[in-house]
Amino acid sequence: MNTVDLYNRITRLLKEKNLSRRDLSSGTGISYNTLTALYQRQSDMSGSMLKQIADFFSVTVEFLLTGNDRPPCAISNSIVGDNNPHATITVTNGETHTRDLTEIETELLRICAKLDIKKKVELLTFASNLEGVNK
């Protein structure tokens, strides 16, 4: 992994969103001092930190590491509106498949849309753990 490219991508994302490293720290739960040490190459970034930063920016870890800008999932229509029976999801992994969201999926996305980034990361961690239990 080219760490210079990684930090350049993070810096670019911060600038695009008009955010600071303090905002990144607050939104991810990674301390400002840890972020500073990472930027100064005094520490290595863990996989969980990469995931937190990717989630904060709504990009993939793959994008942070490689610059490959293939979003794994694109959601269309207004899925967070009240009682939207026609919400759809498009998943792209080389191919595109579109299907209607279930009521439960729509409700989960509606709730998620109202959460701050820290809560979204917590929710994603919880969901990932659930997924691991179900395998």
| Domain spans, the chain | 3-66, 73-133
Helices (H), 29-70: 32-39, 47-57, 61-66
For residue 17, pLDDT beyond 50? yes
- The correct answer on CATH 3.20.10.10 for the domain covering 3-66 is no
Given a contact cutoff of 8 angstroms between Cβ atoms, the answer to whether 61 and 54 are in contact is: yes
CA gap 133, 86 in Å, rounded: 31
Given a contact cutoff of 8 angstroms between Cβ atoms, the answer to whether 24 and 30 are in contact is: yes
Token digits of residue 99: 């299907």
- Mean predicted lDDT score pLDDT of the chain: 75
Distance of CA 96 to the CA centre of its chain: 20
Contacts of 77 (CB under 8 A, 6+ apart): 84, 86, 87, 88
Return the beta strands (E) in the chain as ranges: 73-76, 88-92, 96-100
Mean pLDDT score, 76-102: 56
Report how far apart, in Å, the C-alpha atoms of 134 and of each of 106, 110, 122, 127 are.
21, 24, 19, 11
Higher pLDDT, 109 or 14: 14
pTM of the model as a whole: 0.51
Residue-level pLDDT at 110: 81
